[in-house]
Every structure is written in C-alpha cells, then in structure tokens.
Amino acid sequence: MRTLCRAPEVWRDMGLTDAEYQRIVDLMGREPTDVELGMFAVMWSEHCGYKYSRPVLSLFKKYRESLEGAGFENAGVIPLDENLGVAFKVESHNHPSAVEPHQGAATGVGGIIRDIFTMGARPIAILDSLRFGPLNEPRNRYLFEHVVEGISSYGNCIGVPTVAGEVYFHPCYSGNPLVNAMAVGVVPLNRVVTARADVPGSAVMYVGASTGRDGIHGATFASETLGEDQEEKRPNVQIGDPFMEKLLIEATLEALDTGAVLGMQDMGAAGLTCTTCEPTSKSGTGVEIDTSLVPTREADMTPYEIMLSESQERMLLYVQAGREEEAAQVFRKWGLNAVVIGRVIEEPVVRVRHRGELVAEIPPDYLTKQCPVYSLKTETPAYLKEAQSLDLAQLPVPDDLNAVLLQLLNTPTIGSKRWVYEQYDWLVGTQTILPPGTGDAAALRIRGSEKGIALKIDGNARYCYLHPYRGGQIAVAEAARNVACVGATPRAITDCLNFGNPQRPEIFYQFEQAVRGIAEASEFFGTPVVSGNVSFYNESERGAIHPTPTIGMLGILERAENAVGMGFKQTGDVVLFVCPRPRTGEKQEETLFGLGASEYLYVIHGLERGVPEPPDLEAERNLHRLLAALANRRLVQSMHDLSEGGFAVALTECALVHGTGATVDLPAEAIAPRPDATLFGEFQTRVILSAKPEHVEAIQQMTAAHGLACYTIGETGGDRVQIALKGQPIVNLTLSACQAAYEGALL
C-alpha cells in the first residue's frame, strides 16, 4: 500500500480535525492511504459516528443497548401481534434538499425505504415532516414545490403510499429547509434480518444499481454548515431511480425467502464503507473485497470513489457459502446486478483490494467503536431569558375575533395542506383507512392481522426554541395524542433531531434539553425510542434553525375498523370537550393561559415569546388510554386534539372535514381569563369529541374513571361555526368563509 505525507488541508476538507487525524495515525501505526483516510472521514463524521450526540442519546434506554454494544440496526421493530412486527424509522435529507430539492427529497425517501426492507419488511407507508422559510420568498417557494415533487415522484413510482405528514413555515428555515422522511413496513417476526456478518466464508454480495460518482462524501456534507458554496456541493447529492428501487424491494424480499441471506445492509451514508465495517464490527469478523468487481457506471472509477459513493438503490448482502448463485439468480431475474465482491473472514479487518492491489486495511472497530466521542459544553442561550418573558397585561385583545380566526386558518402553517397531499398516492396498496386531512394520524389495516396501525410525525419547533426541555416533552405527548385520537394505543417512537452546530454551547444546550424532555416523556408513556437520526449543522448565513425534534409515533389499533376520524359526521351529534380536571387548592405554576409560544401570538401580534404550557404527563397518559377505549367500544363519531391555533381552529377543522357545522358554548371551567386565550391558547391534553346522544353518559363515566373532565358543549349541524363563552356569542362564521381561508393558505 502507498501512504502519503499530506497537508493538513486534505483531512480538514474531509471534516477531520488535526487531533482526529493524529488519532488515526496512532491507531494504524502509520499514515493512512487515501482510501483509508476517506473511510475514516465518513465513518467519523457526526452523521455516521454520532461523535457529539452519542453521550446524550444514551438517555434513550432502547438506544443505549445499541450505543454501548453492537451498534444501530437499520430500523426499529415493534411486535404487532404474535406473528407480525412493524419496522419503522425516520431520517433527514436536509442539506441535499437545500442544494437540489427534487433529488434531495426523492433520495431521502428512497434511503429510508431501504432501511425498512433491509430488515426483511415490506414497506407499506411513507410520512414526511417538512420545514421551509416563508413562501413569499421565491427561493423558499421553489424549495417547497420541488421537495414535494421529489417526495411524490419517488413514493408514487415505487408504489408505497405517503399517508401522513406535516409542513411548517418560519423564517429560520430560509436557506436551510428540513426534509425528514419516515417509512414503515411489516415483517414476520421469525424473518427479521439484521445487519451482521457472523459467518466466516460467507459471500459478500453487491446487489442493485451500478455505482456512480454521485453522493461521494455525502455523510461529511451532512456534517457541516451550509454556506455560500452550496451549489458546489451538488456532486454530494445522490440521484434516485424509483423504478430501480421497486425492483430492488421485490428482489430482496424474494431472495430472503430462499433462506440463503444471512445479513444485509443498505448502502446509505458512507456507502460500501459503512456496509462492510459496521456488520463486521458487530460480529467480530472481517471482510476481504475487491472494488474492481463492483459494477460501476463509469469505467475509470477509483477505489476511493467506489468505497465512498452513496449512489442509490444498492445493498450489500452476506450470503451462505455455496448458495451465492441461488441468491444472485433472484436479483438477475429482476434485472439487477448481483456480484460476489469478496468474503467474510475470521480476522477482524476490512481489507480492500483493487485489481489485486491492496488499497485499504483497517480493523472495523477502528471505524466504528474507536470513533472519537466528545462531551460538548452547554450554555443557556442568551436570547432565552428575554424571549421567555411575556406581559399579558400589555397584550391587547383584538376587537374582531372572527377576523382573527380567519387569519389563523389562512396561515400556511395551520391552513390546509391539500396542495401537498393531493400530489401523493395515499391509496396505493389499499391499506390506508383514513384519507389525508381527515384524521389526526394515518390509520392502516394490516394484511394477515385483525389489528391495524396508526402513524404520525409531529413536532413544534417554536416550543423547543422557547423552552427546549418542555418542547421535547410536548413533541412526544402530541404525537402520542394524535395516534390516540384515531383510536390507537401509542407504542413506540422514531425521532429525527434537527439542530444547528453542536459545537456552539447554546445549540448543544438546546439539543441536550430537548432530548432529555423526549426521553422522560417517552419513558413515562411507555413509548420507547427504538430508532432515529440526528441532523446537526442546520445553519445558513442567516443563522441556525429553531431546534426541531420531530417525533414519528407508532400506535396499535386493536381492530383496524375501529379507526376514528376528526370530522363531524352528521347533524345532531353531541360535541364534547375532554380536558384535565380543574385543580383546586394546589399551587399552580405561573401560566400564560396557552398564549405563550402560540401561533396566535406570532401571527396576530408578531411576537415569538413566552413559554408553552407545561404538559401534565399523567393526565396525558390517561387521555391516551381513554381515547383508545372509546374507539374500541365505538362510542365516538370523531376525535380531534387541540394544537396550533387552539380550540377555535380545532373546532373549525372538525367542521370542515365533512362540511358539518357546530354550535358550542364553553362552560366557565373551560374558559381562560381572556377570550383570545380561550379561543386560541395552545393547551395540552385537550380533545374535541362528537358522539351520538345515547352514548354521552357512557363517555362521561369513562372519562371520570380516567381522572379527566368531560363537558357537553354543543351539537353538530348547520353551515356555521358558532362559539359562545358562558352564553355570550364570540365567534360566528359561515363554513364557506372558513373553508375559503383554510384552503387558500398555500396558494
């Protein structure tokens, strides 16, 4: 092997520090080759190595086993019943989408779907969480339109429905949009495949598309801040082929049926480097491969390029010796490459040759377990004390609350996302129960089981900006509440943690506090974090994004047909309001009546201040259990939680789904000291229900048994939304006016 004396700029440009380069030299006992240096650079990036986030992620108990042991699997798996499991994971593709939005978003979808079927699961659903700057800036609208286009084109072509998601808009995302993609699949529990290479002598088989020069150093690109040179980063963005991915899904699942495949991993971040070193590090083995055997799109590709390429639609399989041709024939039948490029060996080393020449020889643990881990400093952000203060006495109550409601309905963050979801094929596969826009979460029936699943991805960045710890708790609580509102029991979480530069103490403070909140809430609810992704360096010349942890929640429906939507179904149903019981005689934490950190405060008063109301985790958990029980007994017609925009927006959304209005009168116990706080305050653990009159008594009894309050506040019917407070009318709008505002938000 040839080793070189090189200038520091070489490894610095790869994202390595001088100390890290010296550590590599010390581990190897020599200067690394170019190929070895590239392998270390990608595997020691934050994106692959979690070198900054690892100490904080240990707060997640289910993660901890992986962090301290063999490493992460491609996705988490939760049992659905005795025979089937649900595999799910979320990841970010933020930087690629900022540079090339269509391909960045499309390959984000492709990559997360591969994480699912590498577990042996058939992908059945996609969800997305998107953040952009204000749409009145042409660049932001361009990014928004082309990201949605990329998600829809890839998902629609591979035949996996996009069933749910969220879209937020805020100036902090100008220059650095967030594109988080979540995928879900179903797998027989006796056929879950792991990313391991346990058996020496087994074949290392490359399958799928040919390797190109796209995506080289994509992992290091994801571990740096976007700057003015972002157009020069286009070669770091992969190019996707959804039709190739569809072939790869079918071929992979068919190959697993042969029993010849011992393990496999998707060639995502770090490409062939990751798929050789991670499985062997977990298994205590090694591999010998020859990169000249790898199918390439260009004849003159170097071993450096081949080892680091992140070209899409590729997998690495570990196949039983003697059964290579059996597995390969399956992939060839589907028109895909299937080539044995090496063997698993007992010696714990990743040995790479190119046309016989040795170009890299690294113990896999050096690339994985020896990745440096840093305990970064935290510092309370300077903005926080002032931003958390809010003097409600100085905040006027608007004269026309009807106009306020219409303005909120017309804001892009709250308004209808029909323009987005109508581009997605949400019916393909025929398992989707609730159409987009009709439920608080997606609900899917599962073939081979009476049970169904509910899925939601959610997160409020403003809450985390103004109170990172509380914001992390609320992100879990709201995602769990969303799946409970369709009748499911919350079961497990995947998360995508989007933050700025972690080496800035105030950013790492946001990260540590938000993760602590997520960890405590998920443990309290019994919804462990079983997979996820960290995305740092989400900054541009305009500054860092708001801290944006997004929570992908999986819920289990005892019977799929019990799924409940959010819309009022018919005239004459009773409208009920469920919330925590009023507490008397206890010292109350100082409250901003739900106006702190609210969308109302930001849109109407131009203020991003205060703090979100503290969640009551015990009451929240009781609410989740109540809602699932109500659905299982078929006592409710609809369920919808309060979130951005508060009660008035939630009630209007219930009315708009099926065009059925409502007239309600809130009792004194459900009223805040200010009318705008009652209508638009963002309180946790509150849900609007509708039910047939004969079921109201049973609902109230069950609510009381769960330690919650349930108020009968009105009835459905008519073509208006009418809200009174203790008999005094305060909102009176036609559904047509509300719909015009709501549907026009993104136009």
Q: Which residue numbers are catalytic?
A: 47, 93
Question: Residue 683 has which token pair?
Answer: 């309180």
Answer positive or negative: Cα dihedral of 351, 354, 356, 358.
negative
Residue of 412, 452, 291 whose CA lies nearest to 358: 291
- Size (the chain), residues: 747
* Beta strand ranges found along 324-482 (DSSP E): 337-345, 350-354, 357-362, 442-445, 452-458
CA distances from 575 to 578, 654, 662 (A): 10, 10, 8
Contact 542, 445 (CB under 8 A): no
Contact 684, 624 (CB under 8 A): no
Residues 348 and 344: their CA atoms lie apart, in Å, by: 9
C-alpha torsion angle, residues 8, 11, 15, 20 (rounded to 10): -80
Question: Residue 127 has which token pair?
Answer: 């969800």
Q: What is the number of H-type helices and E-type strands within the chain? A: 27, 26
Query: Which residues have C-beta within 8 Å of that of residue 725, sequence separation ≥ 6?
Result: 665, 666, 671, 675, 678
Contact 468, 517 (CB under 8 A): yes
Residue of 485, 561, 478 whose CA lies nearest to 522: 478
Residues 460 and 612: their CA atoms lie apart, in Å, by: 10
Residues 514 and 517: their CA atoms lie apart, in Å, by: 5
Residues 722 and 744: their CA atoms lie apart, in Å, by: 22
Q: Across the beta sheet with 548-557, what order do the strands follow?
A: 442-445, 452-458, 548-557, 489-498, 529-535
Contact 112, 181 (CB under 8 A): yes
* Beta strand ranges found along 18-133 (DSSP E): 76-79, 84-92, 122-132
CA distances from 20 to 51, 74, 201, 561 (A): 11, 27, 34, 55
For the residues of 542-606, what is the DSSP string, one character each?
TEEPPPEEEEEEEEEESSGGG---SS--STTPEEEEEEEPPP-SSPPPP--TT-TT-HHHHHHH-
For the residues of 570-581, what is the DSSP string, one character each?
STTPEEEEEEEP
Residue of 242, 234, 243, 241 whose CA lies nearest to 214: 234
